[in-house]
């Protein structure tokens, strides 16, 4: 669990697995989620164990989530945006449907 | 002067065929300095960073935080050194492209980027790789549990989101960042914190002969800072266990406890968040993908690209600056960036050779003053032995869940190097492409085959350096760019 050293006004709201999460200016999707107490970003494709951000700088790929319908998104690199729809990524990457995997 | 004239003619002709005089990759201290110096010298300069803000990891979110009085105070004076560098970059006229991923560099200094979901190739007469460092992977039982992160990662959460761990925080590791982050947590009001120092007091004895040199140049400032951090932590009464080893994390869905051995006895602490850290290593993905020669630096326990003066690689026009070329720290990295830029300005005819030589000499002296302390620090804080020789059941490849034992068994079946191990075990073939297991795989195979890390080698790094989709590449093909059809999406 994390806490903000100084609360700031919300810059927007994203939805994570159906739950509304307010974020602050400058938050990546990963900072927004860990600030909100999210502990599980994805289930590992091999053993389904929960995984969460490890490096926060784009090298470990543990923070992969689904964002606005696109899988395998690095939550630590992508700025949080108002109205974003984020899901836990479960299992291996799905075969993209036509036109889905832009 | 004939040679110079011919060179200039050649470059004048070359100018028309490139999008930029220089492309700089990374906006940490080396990249900011390089891009600023290039643009100040009249070079058409593009600087890109994968992150949405300039500063790299060391000066992460510097432009936001410099005016945030509380965070600025917590992060301290060395962090705020990034502010004038950021100002210099902004004023230099260099074009800054953030949120921009570099996924390939080709032999003609074409830099393949993805920004706003679109792929482009930009070409340059010179490229500066200022991709910096990453935390050394620390394979430890239970390190894949949520709640276990790099100490550098925890510090990024503080810099970018003003976040500190709630509940009990255990920091386990050694080195300057270990102490600095503990001190920053203290300043940020983290009350329930326990420090497990994995450095070995015998290393101090080994380091003593290096101490006199460490006091010269700017070295004494680093030592004084370290002493100040330790004193502040002691004054605050932060529990501090020294000489800790055999660390393991416990938990089902999240870390709940840390086990370790201290003074020969087993200990266990309940906790909510664990930070691990055993120093930083150069990011090798781009230099490896280019096929640059690399050497193993035993003092730092890591590979680095073989570089000439002013950061030149064995590929014409491709330079490395800062920690990506070997760990030198933020301030030396900024000088490194200036040096690479001055050499490039000279090479493209923007700076007279005599002036370049004079300014490079001054930057080199300034850089050197920050390096006097490095051999002492390297000796004092080597990575703890168990992360280079993890127990058999420890996961080394987080992406594919490959254990140290599986790798050793594969070596027993005849695997002689990291690339064969990939084929046998899939280690290094997950989404991180070996970034988090490469150093460990080399160390384990080297030990098992009684060879040096250099003889053992490292994963061959292939492009795309990060996953790029077929759709994104198709977009490139639609715009008539060459060679797009040769690139295929990485299976994942």
Q: Which residues of B touch A65 (CB under 8 A)?
A: none
Q: Report CB contact under 8 Å: B435, A35.
A: no
Query: Residue B8: its pLDDT value, please?
Result: 41
Cis bond before residue B464 (omega within 30° of 0): yes
CB of B337 within 8 A of CB of B322? yes
Whether A25 is covered by a domain: the verdict is yes
CB of B395 within 8 A of CB of B248? no
Q: Which fold has domain B389-456?
A: Arc Repressor Mutant, subunit A (1.10.10)
Q: Report CB contact under 8 Å: B163, A6.
A: no
Query: Residue B191: its pLDDT value, please?
Result: 94
Query: Residue A7: its pLDDT value, please?
Result: 87
Whether A102 is covered by a domain: the verdict is no
Q: Report CB contact under 8 Å: A50, B50.
A: no
Whether A7 is covered by a domain: the verdict is no
> Could you give phi then psi for residue A50, rounded to 5 degrees?
-70, 145
Q: Report CB contact under 8 Å: B401, A47.
A: yes
With an 8 Å Cβ cutoff, is B118 touching chain A?
no
A1, A50, A93: residue with CB nearest B272: A1
Dist. CA B272–CA B281, nearest whole Å:
27
Of A34-38, A42-46, A96-100, B202-206, the poorest mean pLDDT is in A96-100
Q: What is the mean pLDDT of chain B?
A: 93
With an 8 Å Cβ cutoff, is B99 touching chain A?
yes
Tens of pLDDT along B151-202? 999 999 999 999 999 999 999 999 999 999 999 999 999 999 999 999 988 8
Beta-carbon contacts below 8 Å between A and B: 143
Query: Residue B467: its pLDDT value, please?
Result: 86
Q: Report CB contact under 8 Å: A77, B157.
A: no
Whether A33 is covered by a domain: the verdict is yes
Q: Which fold has domain B2-134+281-351?
A: FAD/NAD(P)-binding domain (3.50.50)
CB of B380 within 8 A of CB of B199? yes
CB of B126 within 8 A of CB of B50? no
Helix (H, G, I), strand (E, B) or coil at A19: strand
Tens of pLDDT along B103-120? 999 988 999 999 988 999
Whether A4 is covered by a domain: the verdict is no
Dist. CA B266–CA B254, nearest whole Å:
22
Whether A95 is covered by a domain: the verdict is no
Q: Which residues of B touch A101 (CB under 8 A)?
A: 469-471
Q: Which residues of B touch A54 (CB under 8 A)?
A: 143-144, 148-150, 153, 398, 436
With an 8 Å Cβ cutoff, is B348 touching chain A?
no
Question: Can you give the pTM of this predicted structure?
Answer: 0.93
Domain count across chain A: 1
Q: Report CB contact under 8 Å: A8, B189.
A: no
Q: Report CB contact under 8 Å: A101, B469.
A: yes
Query: Residue A100: its pLDDT value, please?
Result: 41
> Could you give phi then psi for residue B66, rounded to 5 degrees?
-60, -30
Q: Which DSSP category does A56 fall into?
A: S
Q: Report CB contact under 8 Å: B163, A5.
A: yes
Query: Residue B492: its pLDDT value, please?
Result: 37
Return the residue matching tokens 């999210």: A38
Query: Residue B205: its pLDDT value, please?
Result: 87
Average pLDDT on B55-81 reads 96
The alpha-carbon gap from B208 to the nearest alpha carbon of chain A, in Å, equals 33
Q: Report CB contact under 8 Å: B253, A26.
A: no
Give the dihedral of Cα atoms B290, B291, B292, B293; nearest 10 deg. 170
Q: Which fold has domain B137-278?
A: FAD/NAD(P)-binding domain (3.50.50)
A5, A27, A40: residue with CB nearest B164: A5
Q: Pairing state of beta strands B148-150 and B273-277?
A: parallel
Question: Which sequence spans correspond to the domains of chain B?
Answer: 2-134+281-351, 137-278, 389-456
Q: Pairing state of beta strands B280-282 and B273-277?
A: unpaired
Q: Decide whether B137-278 matches B389-456 in CATH topology.
A: no
With an 8 Å Cβ cutoff, is B472 touching chain A?
yes
% pLDDT > 90, chain B: 88
Q: Report CB contact under 8 Å: A46, B471.
A: no
Residues of A with CB under 8 A from a CB of B: 1-6, 8, 24-28, 31-32, 34-35, 39-41, 44, 46-47, 49-62, 64, 72, 77, 79, 92-93, 96, 101-102
Tens of pLDDT along A47-83? 999 999 999 999 999 999 999 999 999 999 999 999 9
CA angle A46, A37, B69 (to 5 degrees): 125
Q: Report CB contact under 8 Å: A50, B430.
A: no
Structural tokens at position A81: 């945006």
SS (H, E, C) chain B: CHHHHHHHHHHHHHHCCCCEEEEEECCCHHHHHHHHHHHHCCCCEEEECCCCCCCCCCCCCHHHHCCCHHHHHHHCHHHHCHHHHHHHHHHHCCEEECCCEEEEECCCCEEEEEECCEEEEEEEEEEEECCCEEECCCCCCCCCCCCEEEHHHHHHHHHHHCEEECCCEEEEECCHHHHHHHHHHHHCCCCCEEEEECCCHHHHHHHHHHHHHHCCCCHHHHHHHHHHHHHHHHHCCCCEECCCEEEEEEECCCEEEEEEEECCEEEEEECCEEEEECCEEECCHHHHHCCCCEEEECCCCEEEECCCHHHECCCCCEEECHHHHCCCCHHHHHHHHHHHHHHHHHHCCCCCHHHHHHHHHHHHHHHHHCCCCHHHHHHHCCCCHHHHCCCCCCEEECCCCEEHHHHHHHHHCCCCCHHHHHHHHCCCCCCCCCCCCHHHHHHHHHHHCCCCHHHHCCCCCCCCCCCCCHHHHHHHHHCCCCCHHHCCCCCC
User: pLDDT confidence of B360, banded at 50, 70, 90?
Assistant: very high
In this predicted complex, what is the ipTM? 0.93
Indicate which CATH number applies to the domain containing A19: 3.10.20.440
């Amino acid at each position: 669990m994390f806490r903000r050293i100084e609360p700031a006004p919300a810059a927007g709201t994203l939805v994570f697995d159906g739950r509304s999460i307010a974020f602050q200016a400058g938050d990546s999707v990963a900072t927004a989620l860990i600030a909100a107490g999210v502990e599980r970003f994805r289930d590992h494709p091999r053993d389904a164990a929960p995984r969460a951000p490890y490096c926060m700088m784009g090298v470990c790929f543990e923070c992969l989530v689904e964002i606005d319908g696109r899988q395998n998104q690095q939550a630590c690199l992508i700025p949080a945006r108002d109205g974003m729809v984020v899901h836990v990524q479960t299992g291996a990457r799905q075969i993209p449907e036509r036109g889905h995997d832009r | 002067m004939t040679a110079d004239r011919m060179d200039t003619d050649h470059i004048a002709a070359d100018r028309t065929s490139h999008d930029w005089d220089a492309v700089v990759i990374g906006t940490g201290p080396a990249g900011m300095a390089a891009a600023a110096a290039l643009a100040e010298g009249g070079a058409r300069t593009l600087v890109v960073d994968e992150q949405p803000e300039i500063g790299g990891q060391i000066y992460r979110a510097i432009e936001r935080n410099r005016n945030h009085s509380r965070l600025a105070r917590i992060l301290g004076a060395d962090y705020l050194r990034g502010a004038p560098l950021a100002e210099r970059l902004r004023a230099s006229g260099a074009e800054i492209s953030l949120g921009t991923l570099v996924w390939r560099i080709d032999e003609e200094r074409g830099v393949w980027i993805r920004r706003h979901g679109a792929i482009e190739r930009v070409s340059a007469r010179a490229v500066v790789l200022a991709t910096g460092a990453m935390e050394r992977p620390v394979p430890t039982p239970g390190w894949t549990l949520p709640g276990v992160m790099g100490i550098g990662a925890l510090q990024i959460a503080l810099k970018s989101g003003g976040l500190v761990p709630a509940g009990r925080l255990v920091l386990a590791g050694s080195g300057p960042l270990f102490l600095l982050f503990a001190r920053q947590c203290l300043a940020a009001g983290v009350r329930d914190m326990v420090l497990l120092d994995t450095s070995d007091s015998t290393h101090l004895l080994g380091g003593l002969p290096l101490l006199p040199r460490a006091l010269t140049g700017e070295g004494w400032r680093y030592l004084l800072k370290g002493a100040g951090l330790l004193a502040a932590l002691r004054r605050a009464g932060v529990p501090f266990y020294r000489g800790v080893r055999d660390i393991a994390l416990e938990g089902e869905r999240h870390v709940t406890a840390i086990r370790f051995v201290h003074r020969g006895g087993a200990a266990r602490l309940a906790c909510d968040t664990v930070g691990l850290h055993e120093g930083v290593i150069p990011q090798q993905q781009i230099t490896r993908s280019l096929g640059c020669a690399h050497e193993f630096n035993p003092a730092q326990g890591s590979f680095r690209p073989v570089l000439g003066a002013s950061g030149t690689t064995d590929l014409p026009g491709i330079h490395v600056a800062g920690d990506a070329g070997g760990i030198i720290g933020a301030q030396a990295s900024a000088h490194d960036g200036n040096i690479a830029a001055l050499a490039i300005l000279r090479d493209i005819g923007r700076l007279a050779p005599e002036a370049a030589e004079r300014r490079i000499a001054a930057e080199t002296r300034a850089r050197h003053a920050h390096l006097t302390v490095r051999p002492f620090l390297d000796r004092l804080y080597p990575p703890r032995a168990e992360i280079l020789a993890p127990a058999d059941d420890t996961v080394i490849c987080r992406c594919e869940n490959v254990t140290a034992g599986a790798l050793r068994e594969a070596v027993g079946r005849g695997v002689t190097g990291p690339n064969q191990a990939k084929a046998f075990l899939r280690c290094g073939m997950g989404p991180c492409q070996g970034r988090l297991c490469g150093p460990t795989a080399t160390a384990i195979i080297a030990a098992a085959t009684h060879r040096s890390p250099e003889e053992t080698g490292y994963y061959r790094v292939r492009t795309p350096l990060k996953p790029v989709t077929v759709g994104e590449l198709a977009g490139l093909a639609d715009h008539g760019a060459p060679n797009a059809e040769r690139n295929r999406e990485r299976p994942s």
